[in-house]
Structure 1
């Protein structure tokens, strides 16, 4: 809301709110133009464009000149613009452990450090998986296989020859993964003095688009006696592989300029760069892109942010697909032996 307010001041409140209202009511009308081109209809104000490029890059996984206006409007309709920020106070691992407890308490089993090596396919349907366990391979028969490793990796495990060309083409052209460079900064003083439990969106920096003061949200995440700040950096293009060394260098310059206390009181404790061809990029699909949860192989489903419902992205998209697939499986299959 604060960012939208700044945009409204830059171009005129009524103009922006009116145009946005129309866009969110009929997002499909804007499918033929990028969000930047849509915005140029109303203003060429540099600050306005900078604000929205930061918003879109941070939340929708692409720059304003790379994503359709229709996709951006569908995001604001579906996700309400991310009004809240949730950070697990003890990290995401605790959430996974709690989920595992629910599974085991209901008679299921959870294996860790047991990577899947193959999805077993026979007669055009998935019949199980092969995993590594205790130094050997174990084949597990199942009525249904649900994959959360991304459509491309799923194809590799099942065998490319099991999929039709249309589906393979979609995995090459519709995913649009998002590269990112993340940096964790420890400091003996808060770098963002007004650091409330929220996301700071940075406009006009070289690479940094958003900053989260993690220790303001959960002090136990920081090194003892220190503050912890988490920054996202977006490359100029999300379409090609980024040069990791260049990106990290640009982010260091941003840190020095955006946070004057950094050089004297801060230190980088970790860089984490994810390229478009990494096993786990920041997102496997930007808003408005992606492929479906069903595959040409019967009983084989994809879940995750590569298969989002319209307007969804990131972990919200992943959760929505998991819920959707669980509903399908619950209706089509009955518990029992495969």
Structure 2
């Protein structure tokens, strides 16, 4: 599996979609999650596609307005950061929609260099950019009609959760901070999943440095990761995060803008970064949600004790859930949303 994860590709390969996923693309907003909005109806939760500039790059986002939205009123507001390889039309959109159903004004955006957002080279995946994406969503949504800038929360899912921990350290506009199935991208890119690649750190850093040198010379960009996956490869992948992730991202909830490719040179930044650093800077209330059966739970277990100055913190377990199941399984999503709304209601007025 590790070998497959780190395949170096020279060209961007089209993501394979099965018939079910292609059917889901008929959603007029491109949403691929269950019970997604299909049309904007007066008096109900609506979705508003928007674009804005962030450091000169055009960002594509969806704003979700609560039922009976009145732009002259103020609504507690939540920024939602998507997983690694994900896009706003998948689980980030699901949680943004569900929170809007509970009265929140929400936004989910594609990261710069990814999805429908601009930026070159494509699939650049650097922590500084992902953190700035979160700042940028806050910049935009707090200027949106109806947004209560004084009651702004943030939710980061998977890799977006790790970046949310970092964003919240310095951005005190966020009054309540939550993560779901947090994934520490730097730790995993450096050490391997479950620390399985400790013996190759220096070689992989050299490979990343060489890739940057090639980019600087004008050579073709090298990519790491996975652009597509066959049914046979999925079947051979060990049960857990990556097998479930392949099923989610390439089969049941596939979206053409979603891919696990990233520029190999991005590893120079990723491998030197860690979501666990400086967590004592988080003073805001913090909720970290994980599935009890998630093989990524160890990352939240590592980070949670390091948050020493939060006014309130809680690690909430969804019993029986794996990492990917928190993205879409209705009973687990219901539990997560119930906990999130309880948390936000306590700290966002």
TM-score by length of 2: 0.30
TM-score by length of 1: 0.30
